[in-house]
Amino acid sequence: MQASSDISLLSLIVHASFPVQLVLLVLLSISVLSWAYIFSKRKTIRRTYEQTTRFEDDFWAGGDLSMLQQSIASRRDEHGALARIFDAGMTEFLKARRGNGTSDTLLNGPRRAMQATYQREMDGLESHLNFLATAGSVSPYIGLLGTVWGIMHAFLGLSGMQQATLAAVAPGIAEALIATAIGLFAAIPAVIAYNRYTDQIDRVSIRFDSFIDEFLNILQRQVR
């Protein structure tokens, strides 16, 4: 019992076999990257929500759209993704109107410009989500690999003993199970964050799509 009481998490990791230590290092790296992306994505999505709400308030305040577009064009990064979508569409509309384009040209140009900007903005919002999804699905298997190897190593070490005791087996099994625990520790936050952020980004995407349709309707009334 005294031998088992001396077992600690740190000592198990230090005295683990090299393959298990390598697995733990990989899982630790995945966990650190996951948490970095989680905090970064949380900040980005919160800022996007705030900027989108602020721009929608300015847009529906009933002011002149050309003046609004000029104020956005001078500080595109400060106004957010939806403002940049509006700026792309309004800029294309003004160019087409100065060129005396047809009604189809006046609407198709802004539509294509806003769709292209929309796709770039969504790509930026969705960046690193694939890593979180991969970390959430792969980390438990990496941890399981370390566990299987650790258990194999523990039982191979007992092969030379005439009598196996719990005190002799316990450290090897505990060392092996640490890999599974670390794998779950890396996977669970990544899965939760991925699902949460995917839902939030989908909500932002719906707001962007709705705005594009409403803005095109406004431009269509101006063309008439």
Q: Give me the pLDDT at residue 209, please.
A: 95
Q: Give me the pLDDT at residue 5, please.
A: 44
Q: Give me the pLDDT at residue 191, please.
A: 96
Domain that holds residue 122: 2-223
Which sign, positive or negative, has the C-alpha torsion 196, 202, 205, 207? negative
Show pLDDT as tens, one digit a residue, over the chain (224 residues). Answer: 344 445 566 666 676 677 778 888 999 999 999 999 999 999 999 999 999 999 999 899 877 888 888 888 878 778 899 999 999 999 998 888 877 666 677 888 899 999 999 999 999 999 999 999 999 999 999 999 888 887 877 676 666 665 655 555 666 677 778 888 899 999 999 999 999 999 999 999 999 999 999 999 988 887 76
Q: CB of 110 within 8 A of CB of 219? A: yes
Give CA–CA dist 213/219, Å, rounded. 10
Query: What's the start-to-end Cα distance of the chain, in Å?
Result: 88
Q: Give me the pLDDT at residue 24, please.
A: 87
Q: Give me the pLDDT at residue 1, please.
A: 37
Concatenate the DSSP letters of all residues of 97-132 into one string: HHTT--HHHHHHHHHHHHHHHHHHHHHHHHTTHHHH
Q: Give me the pLDDT at residue 210, please.
A: 95
Task: Specify the number of domains making up the chain.
Answer: 1
Q: Give me the pLDDT at residue 116, please.
A: 96
Using CA atoms in the order 98, 103, 109, 111, what is the torsion angle rounded to 10 degrees? 130
| pTM of structure | 0.81
Residue 190 to residues 47, 71, 187, Cα–Cα distance (Å): 21, 39, 5
